[in-house]
Amino acid sequence: MILITALLAVPLAVIVASVFWPDKSTWSHLADTVLADYVINSALLAIGVGFGTFILGTGTAWLLSVCEFPGRRIFEWALLLPLAMPAYIIAYTYTGLLDVAGPVQSGLRALTGWSVGDYPFPEIRSLGGAIVMLTLVLYPYVYMLTRAAFLEQSASALNVARSLGLNPWQMFRRVALPLARPSIVAGLSLAIMETLADYGTVQYFGIPTLTTGIFRTWFGLNDTIAAAQLSALLLTFIFTVIIIERLSRRQARYHHHGNWQARPSFQLRRGTAALAFLACALPLALGFLVPSAQLLAWSLEVAPTRNLAEFAILVSRSVGLAGLTAILALLLALFLAYGHRLMPGRLTFTINRIAGMGYAVPGTVIAVGVIIPFAAFDNTLDSWMREQFGMSTGLLLSGTVAALVFAYLVRFLAVSLNTVEAGLGRIRPSMDDAARSMGATAGRTLWRVHIPLIRGSLLTAALLVFVDVLKELPATLVLRPFDFNTLAVRAFELASDERLRDAALPALAIVAAGLIPVILVSRSITRARGHEGISSRDPIDE
């Protein structure tokens, strides 16, 4: 367990150690020219997305927790669908829709007779546009955790507030919102970390941030040390968000659900019901339905002219990488989680937490942390082989599928580990004792008892890692072998060349695969709904 964790921690250790490496003047150049822009834009992006996801996530969560209106049952799970839409894909789609030559502005000119420049129109390729794009696909993090917090709050407290004459807005502001603060902060932290990790959207929109700066420093200035130091700065941002979330969680207070008491519910009518419906329908439409429909239309348009053999190769490579990583991550997670079950204690707990730390780190940072030690190993081995045997070994790890899969494992092992740990946690220790009393070894108990009982969790863990790998862009761009494309990379390349219609087919395949974990999460939330109690409803008229 210690060896596995040590290997997985190497990329992060390299990034942290880069702070103490000597500066080759590139860092000074960055500090004098573009570093301030990188930091300010990253901070503004995080603040803007944090505010947007807070409004959309908490607002819809509250409406669906205490209000009755047409479409509520559908919105409960459908509002999670934007999670299946990677931010860089929705950015391409809305650029095609809203650009000067897109259908929206073309239709506006055809309808009014205006020419280009005769009317004001918001620029989609801007910092504000990036904030909107990221908000539309990241608000489900806040919605999911906040709604769970609202449903778990004490029904007694809400009913007391209702008996004192508070309307839904007053109950939300004075009672529910303060009680749900830790969950809201946790959701916001996830959204902000994803925002800081984003590369495809900000690169396509031409916004200089820390993630784009890492790429430019590495490939443009050919300075891996400065790129690693920029990565360390980005890592500081990420860990600051994590610390804030942890401190907020420490302030949480838990209240008995009060299942014996029905939860308050308000029946919305006429105008208020229409407004609630619109408030839930708008983020769903803009974050999933509209871009999915546009991607489908473009895909059908270009499918007859596309080289389907090339598309099949992209699918096979992407599926192969994702499948291999999912299997390896599942095996590692099972080994680490079962090791902690057999030897519970602070040491094994710490080992597992360190092994799962990579999920909070952007793919760009992990790519830098992987390529530096791998390249150093390859160069050292090659020099030694030349001196000793007069032969060159070349690059054994750098630029190979092995390096790419290793980076994926560092990034996504936590997804599998947390799922497997949750599954094992539902099995009573008495079953282990019973197996041991019958002479079964630890390995046989795992194979004959635990795996059959948690096969659903194991499947979920593998699927979640599979889809995350399929969508990963920055790490794949940096570490992929020469002339080795995946669906995500090809969609990014085509979109960067302004071939948005050609990018639609690989993008749609990624979105379709992303629906798998969203459906799993939606089903679990739907099953959890059975614990809700509904009181007699108070009508709220227009």
Q: Give pTM, 2 decimals.
A: 0.84
Task: Give pLDDT, residue 536.
Answer: 44
pLDDT tens, the chain, 542 aa long: 778 888 888 888 888 888 777 766 777 788 888 889 999 999 999 999 999 999 999 999 988 888 888 888 889 888 989 988 889 999 999 998 888 888 888 888 888 888 877 778 888 899 999 999 999 999 998 998 888 878 776 666 666 766 776 766 777 777 777 777 878 888 888 888 889 888 989 999 999 999 999 888 887 877 888 888 888 888 888 888 878 777 766 655 544 444 445 555 678 888 888 999 999 999 999 999 999 999 999 988 887 777 778 888 888 989 899 899 999 999 998 888 888 888 888 888 788 777 877 777 888 888 888 888 888 888 888 888 888 888 887 778 888 888 999 999 998 888 888 778 777 877 788 887 787 888 878 888 878 888 888 887 788 788 888 888 888 888 898 888 888 888 899 888 888 888 888 888 899 988 888 887 777 776 666 555 544 444 444 454 44
Given a contact cutoff of 8 angstroms between Cβ atoms, the answer to whether 217 and 147 are in contact is no
Given a contact cutoff of 8 angstroms between Cβ atoms, the answer to whether 322 and 384 are in contact is no
Cα distances (Å, whole numbers) of residue 336 to 92, 225, 431, 443, 507:
39, 33, 19, 13, 34
- With residues binned 3-state (H G I as helix, E B as strand, rest as coil), the percentages for the chain, rounded to 5, are 80, 0, 20
Q: Residue 17 and residue 181: Cα distance in Å, rounded?
A: 35
Q: Which of 196, 201, 212 is nearest to 88 (CA)?
A: 201
Q: Residue 446 and residue 344: Cα distance in Å, rounded?
A: 16
Pairing mode, strands 538-540 and 67-68: unpaired
Task: Give pLDDT, residue 542.
Answer: 43
Amino acid (1-letter code) at residue 507: A
- Helix, strand, or coil (residue 345): coil
Q: Quote the tokens at residue 82.
A: 């934007």
Cα four-point dihedral sign 211, 213, 216, 221: negative
Q: How many H helices and E strands in the chain?
A: 27, 3
Contacts of 512 (CB under 8 A, 6+ apart): none
Task: Give pLDDT, residue 156.
Answer: 64
Q: Residue 227 and residue 216: Cα distance in Å, rounded?
A: 8
User: For 251-362, where are the alpha helices, taking DSSP H only?
Assistant: 270-284, 290-302, 308-342, 346-355
Q: Residue 425 and residue 414: Cα distance in Å, rounded?
A: 16
User: Which residues face 266 on adjacent strands?
Assistant: 67, 538
